[in-house]
Structure 1
Amino acid sequence: MPERMTDHWWWLPGMRPGRRMLLWHILPHGQAEVFDLVRRYQDKLAGVDGLDLVPAEWLHMTTQIVGFEDEIPREQVDALVADAGRRLAALEPVEVEVGRLWVHSEGVALGIRPERGLDPVRQAVREAAAETVGAHPLDGEPGWTPHVSVAYSNADGPAAPIIEALDPRAAPVPLRVGAAHLVAQVRDGHLYRWEPLAEVALG
């Protein structure tokens, strides 16, 4: 647990208002238990200053950065989706638990168990991106910590009020991953929103 929080809303190299980035997300569509768990933690945090709670419609698990949309031709996007489709078709849907509470300096998130349970999904979309588009300097390698963000920090300050508000902890819930979603994401103020471009199924 951190001693202090920092502002999450700084700009990564190349990012700017309105510029869209292509990413692979895992989305908890139709899984009420996941949304209920997030809401329970957000209710605990509702009175704590310095946080932006993630709206339910934008809950996500960032899986792989592909690159900036204005640098990737349409034919490469089509090839990316086709390649990812072939790779993900070889995987069976995966069930993990989500809910391992993770407070880090830029926010509050829910991790998964087993911790490496979704690595095959990430490897598939990562290899597809490398094969069709090329590696991007913001791709997050070597580490990937799969998580669903509950809230982002928007200020510098002590972490103790946030950590205290989260007790008692809730039990994890199942998350079934049957697809990966390619999206064009933009940062809109203190919010990430996106346009869905493709849904690629496992199995």
Structure 2
Amino acid sequence: MDRLSGVPSAEALNVAPVREVQNLRETLRSATASACPELELGNPKPHPPHISIAYANADGIPARDAMQAVDRANETVRRSAVAVTEALLVLLQRRQRSYSWQVISRVPLTPVPPDL
């Protein structure tokens, strides 16, 4: 993960390296399409890889206050490493400005050694 930043309607953590995350996403989308051809997978949104940490639909908290809190966190948290050890296929639903999901399947991921 890299610095904190915003995506439309959310505050998020940027994820790096971008290419590797995009490759993982495409591999998982292809596997899903092959395993479940009846599903109509829409085109991915053009947002860069990220981890959303807050949405702009919260209980009357001004967006400015949320952004200031993220800025304060950004002053102390610079970088963190995260290992992706499994992928989850989920049924994602958005209702009344809130997301919920149900795990359908878990796929363990094997680490790939870095190029030397």
TM-score by length of 1: 0.43
Deviation digits for residues 122-180 of structure 1 (CA, Å, limit 9, x no counterpart): 12112123334267363316x3522111111128xx85444333233122211101211
Between the aligned partners of 1:99 and 1:118, the Cα distance in structure 2 is: 13
- Whether the 8 Å contact between 2:91 and 2:103 is mirrored in structure 1 is yes
Between the aligned partners of 2:102 and 2:63, the Cα distance in structure 1 is: 33
Alignment of 1:172 with 2:72, yes or no, is no
- Whether the 8 Å contact between 2:11 and 2:67 is mirrored in structure 1 is no
Match of 1:200 in 2: 107
Match of 1:183 in 2: 90
Pick closer, same or farther for the CA change 1:191–1:149 going to 2, 3 Å: same
Q: Percent identity?
A: 29
The total of aligned residue pairs comes to 103
Alignment of 1:128 with 2:35, yes or no, is no
Match of 1:106 in 2: 9
Pick closer, same or farther for the CA change 1:150–1:123 going to 2, 3 Å: same
Between the aligned partners of 1:195 and 1:123, the Cα distance in structure 2 is: 21
Higher relative contact order (CA 8 A, sep 6+): 1
Q: Which amino acid aligns with 1:149?
A: S
Matches within 5 A, 1:1-203: 98-131=1-34, 132-133=36-37, 136=40, 138-140=42-44, 143=46, 145-154=48-57, 160-168=64-72, 169=74, 170-203=77-110
Gaps of 5+ in 1: 1-97
Pick closer, same or farther for the CA change 1:130–1:113 going to 2, 3 Å: same
Match of 2:113 in 1: none
Q: Which amino acid aligns with 1:195?
A: Q
TM-score by length of 2: 0.69
Secondary structure of the residue aligned to 1:123 is: helix
- Whether the 8 Å contact between 2:11 and 2:55 is mirrored in structure 1 is yes
- Whether the 8 Å contact between 2:7 and 2:47 is mirrored in structure 1 is no
Q: Which amino acid aligns with 1:146?
A: P
Between the aligned partners of 2:49 and 2:91, the Cα distance in structure 1 is: 19
